[in-house]
Amino acid sequence: MGGKYSSLDPMAIEVPEINTLLSRDPYLKPYEKEIRRRYGCFKDLIESIEENGGGLDNFTQGYKYFGLNVQPDNTIICREWAPGANQLYLTGEFNGWNRDSHPYKKLEYGKWELILPPKPDGSCAIPHLSELKVVVATPTGSKEDRLSPYATYVVEPPKSEDNVLPRIVKQGYNAIQLMAVMEHAYYASFGYQVTSFYAASSRYGTPEELKRLVDRAHELGLVVLLDLVHSHASKNVMDGLNQFDGTDACFFHAGRRGEHSLWDSRLFNYQEFEVMRFLLSNIRWYMEEYQFDGFRFDGVTSMLYHSRGIGQGFSGNYDDYFGLNVDTEGLIYLMLANHVVHTFHNDAITIAEDVSGMPGTCRPISEGCLGFDYRLAMAIPDKWIKLLKHYSDEDWNIGNIVHTLTNRRWMEPNVAYAESHDQALVGDKTIAFWLMDKEMYTHMSTVSDPSPIIDRGIALHKLIRFITHALGGEAYLNFMGNEFGHPEWLDFPRAGNNSSYHYARRQWNLVDDELLKYKFLNAWDAAMNHTENKFGWLSAPPAYVSWKHEDDKVIAFERAGLLFVFNFHPSKSFADYKLGFEGEGEYYIALCSDDSQFGGYNRIDTSVHNFTKPESYCGRRNSIQVYVPSRTAIVLAKV
């Protein structure tokens, strides 16, 4: 049973808040028809689900119908969707791995069902934690072992992990994003080659232990987000969705449309009714079974375009976002997914990983848009790595840095970040390692000889994170380890490193050692977050940049009533540096990266207050003079 798309005149489709969208961005007016058509497709799917899927609430709890479900009387009902299969069987420890003794009954619409009554003593026919597999008789005549797509626990040897939640809370963060939770076959894929979508990876423990982790995070006041991979799936056949019913299709598009050429993975057919049920129910599963508070949607660009974003520059021309390259089925699925998340959990958070900058990504569905709460500002970490790799400090383009940090659509919130796993992969380096490299092995001790490389690295590491935090978005993301300048790189166990875990862990001993300078970077990270918590610049409107001076390498901007001043110059310090400022009165230094507690030189007396003058400067009503040493950032707040 497939979904349907509207064949009516798109201009006749009522989009509740489209006038709000068009008045905010008049350049979207030529694309009004396409926006209305998208919203019409979304409404058609909602209506189809109501008419044919038992309503949205029932439809998005497919895990209660499919897979293996134990009834109150211990009857076990097993159901699968395998439209291309000739027959299904259940095998496992409970029947001595007999592959023929327990056949499923074929139902309508490619569904299969097996009912196992309780044993004479009233217990389940299949003991708890028994190993099971579904045997699929394929159209070619073979019998293949498969894992149920709705399996909730698939086993691999668990590994021990550090207890990091208290560290996160101490640093002042209010949310965590868990990656690689959904079961995947290949560790080095960072969890992106998912094989079992309903199963929490047993590498890290049992489902009960994941629930305890989420509960503990909630007790500590943390919001818990899941890295959700609905953009593609592993090609694995034995333990994945691929060829589940013995055909090239089932959950995916057949042929080339069903394969991602760069990721070597399968692409979902989002118009197929049972695929939508499977994925939307997957969202409900993690929110209701594990109590996740929201999701970061992986690979959104691939879902939005037929090109999958491969080789596409996305210049910002609106034709890129409203032309034939847009994959309507993927786009409407994302609207539907956001609708489900926010319908059943009003306070939930969704984040889009999209490099294209699709207009309306973070605007409400009622405006004909995608309905995400945030978009990842993916250009920012790429910019920092590019600067550190290819440019000397004197050649950093201040205007270009400001442009990268502020280049986002009005009223579409972004998550800014300086570093992530993508930037720190093997073959690349962490920001700290790019800045300080091998001297981190010899000169990070507080009692070691002074090192200009280490001094520069610590100073710039603080400035890079802070300007990203304050100027780059409406939320800030830290990749664990960046907060204390983790050295080296990331490399998960794989064939190329003899399955070593050596580079697959954070070296907490470095930041815990009082004799090492990592503690300074860690203290700065906490200070950024706690200062933001006091003044709330992330929830304030975007900053107004009043000053960006190429020769001085100075950037100044206002946000949440604060004045932020950054001096990126490698050697020049400025006394009585004049800046324009809309605020007026007496101001104190609320945060200074040059303080000794952050590994600085105490060149600024933070007890001294600054006063504005009633003379306009650089387009601002007042002016103010500050002392800003080289490679230093300060924040001024009103007394």
Residues annotated as catalytic are: 298, 353
Burial class (CB in 10 A: 0-12, 13-18, 19+), 513: middle
CA 630 to chain centre: 34
289: tokens are 């079974």
344: tokens are 């059943």
Q: In what order do the strands lie in the sheet with 632-638?
A: 544-549, 554-559, 562-567, 632-638, 586-592, 610-611
Strand partners, 636: 563, 589
524: tokens are 């700065």
Its sign, for the CA torsion 435, 440, 444, 449, is negative
Contact predicate 287/253, CB 8 Å: no
| Coil, strand or helix at 305 | strand
- For the chain, the C-alpha Rg in angstroms (whole number) is 27
Work out whether strand 475-477 and strand 414-417 pair parallel, antiparallel, or are unpaired.
parallel
| Coil, strand or helix at 325 | coil
The total number of residues shown for the chain amounts to 639
620: tokens are 């601002």
DSSP letter assigned to residue 434: H
DSSP letter assigned to residue 13: S
Distance CA 417, CA 377 (A): 7
CA 237 to chain centre: 27
Distance CA 31, CA 614 (A): 47
Burial class (CB in 10 A: 0-12, 13-18, 19+), 309: buried
The DSSP result for 473-518, as a single string, is -SEEE--TTGGGT--S-B--S-GGGTT--TTSS--HHHHH-TTBTH
Strand partners, 592: 634
Contact predicate 114/90, CB 8 Å: yes
List the Cα angle 337/338/344 in 5-degree steps: 95
CA 232 to chain centre: 15
User: Residue type for 578, please?
Assistant: K
Q: Which residues of 130-154 are buried (b: 16+ CB within 10 A; e: fewer)?
A: eebbbbbbbeeeeebebbbbbbbeb
Distance CA 77, CA 70 (A): 6
588: tokens are 């104190």
Burial class (CB in 10 A: 0-12, 13-18, 19+), 472: buried
